[in-house]
Amino acid sequence: MINRSVIIILIFAYALGLASAGGYYLKIKPSKEQKEDLQIDATIRDELCARINDDIDKFKDSPQSFQRSSLKVLVSESSITTKAFLPNLPENKTIKYKSLNGKSIVSDCHDKARKWVKIPSVFPDQYESELALIEYDSRSNEVESISKHQPAVTSGKASGRRIALVIGNSAYKNRPLKNPVNDAKDISDTLKKANFKVLELYNASRAEMKDSINQFSEQLTNYDVGLVYYSGHGIELSGRNYFIPVNAEIDNEDEIPRQGFDATEIVEKMGRSNVKTSIFIIDACRNTPIFTKFKSAESGLAIMQGSTGTVVAFSAAPGHVAQDGNGRNSPYTSALIKQINIPNKKIEDVMKDTARVVNAETASRQTPWYNSSLTGDFYFITE
């Protein structure tokens, strides 16, 4: 007599085989309704890609004034036109993207969509959901994982790819500094924890600084957020700020543009990259008499401004010098790291509280300063 459990197993296996065969048959020969849905999906994708291309062209023509719509609006418009393009569909047929073949709605123009999402939007609060959908990988049928420690570059706590260039110069031939390399290394560790890809450079010559900045600029176009941090000697000359390489031997002020690196060039490169958010942090112009012999050189650094979506932060107010500090870090970088590590804190609040702490710890001798042209909110860390 056959064991009852064996019979149950055989029945289950038979049923499973029928189900598998049925699924296989559906893939080989879709029903009429499935054919309609596949046709709708393909048409919506075509229409959406056409609208994305139109927005990119409009932005190229008017980069200062054009603002794109949201992905939700474009999908809605594409669905409406899809119904017009498919008149043979049943009158009561719902026009909706179903992804029956596993394709993302932007899979036919994924690269274009990644450019499109960086265009300033009329609906910045939808950036998070747009980015998550656009980063869908049609080859693996998965959505790229998004860490909770991602920045919000719009009014929501949105995700975004981030890259940073961190430079620390301490080992100067004349007037070496104690803390910039420590500051840069600790900032690098902090940014890595906040999901930044970090390019690091320490005690660099002018050629090394130029190469690293060019490398950073080339990679920047693939990211949503770009950050540059510099710690070391800096000087203002004729309204321009210069970072000083460790191998500089500046005997007269005419040599500053040639041996220093013009910080404004970095801001301009970031502006041209069309990166969504640019952050420029300078802990320079340490309190030292190294450049006081130059008549045209000023104490402190000059005000710098970037394009829309830029934050420029200085360790000291324009025209004032910063302290190197007696501990491992400068007063500014020490306070900044602590503020960055506080979750759900807007960058403006990070900078304000950093300034408050530094001002108190230096007995008002040093007051950090920043300006911002962000149109939304940015968070280093969110929870």
pLDDT given at position 324: 54
pLDDT given at position 5: 56
Tell whether 73 is covered by a domain.
yes
pLDDT given at position 79: 86
pLDDT given at position 304: 67
pLDDT given at position 251: 78
Q: What percent of the chain has pLDDT over 90?
A: 29
Tell whether 148 is covered by a domain.
no
pLDDT given at position 303: 60
pLDDT given at position 29: 64
Low-confidence ranges of the chain (pLDDT < 70): 1-29, 64, 125, 135-159, 285-307, 317-326
Give ∠ CA 330-301-279 in degrees, rounded to 5.
70
Q: Tell me how far apart the alpha carbons of residues 375 and 64 are, in angstroms, rounded to a whole number.
A: 13
Same domain for 49 and 7?
no
The token duo for 47 is: 């229409």
Same domain for 204 and 316?
yes
Domain span at residue 2?
Answer: 1-27
Each residue's pLDDT tens digit, 302-353: 566 666 888 999 887 665 566 555 678 889 999 999 999 999 999 999 999 9
Three-state SS for 92? coil
Number of H helices, E strands in the chain: 11, 12
Backbone φ and ψ of 70, nearest 5°? -95, 160
The token duo for 261 is: 């690196």
pLDDT given at position 91: 78
Q: Write the DSSP assignment of 273-326 as a string of letters.
A: TT-SEEEEEEE--BS-STTTT-SSEESS------STTEEEEESS-TT--B---S
pLDDT given at position 300: 54
Same domain for 40 and 1?
no
Same domain for 64 and 174?
no
* pTM listed for this prediction: 0.58
Q: Write the DSSP assignment of 117-166 as a string of letters.
A: TTS-BS-GGGHHHHHHHHTEETTTTEEPP--SS----SSS-----EEEEE
Same domain for 216 and 80?
no
Tell me how far the alpha carbon of residue 213 is from its chain's centroid. 17
Q: Tell me how far apart the alpha carbons of residues 310 and 57 are, in angstroms, rounded to a whole number.
A: 24
Same domain for 237 and 310?
yes
pLDDT given at position 305: 62
